[in-house]
Amino acid sequence: MLTSATMSLNPLFLRHDLMIELGRLEMAMQDMRGTTATEQPTSQLQQLESRRARINEALSRLPA
């Protein structure tokens, strides 16, 4: 039987979780770009873009 610790270290599960988070970030970024510049500070968008870049980097390091 697999323990939760073993499952959390499985690259397949990690890739899945990162892909879900990446999708959420991209949706949030699209929503922010859809609003006017005065409603959303650009610093929030930059934070989301930075997080997306870190997730993409982590995904590139996982085995396919």
Task: Determine the pLDDT at residue 64.
Answer: 72
Task: Determine the pLDDT at residue 39.
Answer: 60
Per-residue pLDDT of the chain (64 residues; tens, 9 = 90+): 455 555 557 888 899 999 999 999 999 999 888 876 566 678 888 999 999 999 999 999 988 7
Q: pTM, whole model, 2 decimals?
A: 0.73
- Token pair 């879900």 is at which residue? 20
CB 55 within 8 A of CB 29: no
CA 44 to chain centroid, in Å, comes to 15
Task: Determine the pLDDT at residue 36.
Answer: 60
**Residue 40: DSSP 8-state:** S
Task: Determine the pLDDT at residue 47.
Answer: 93
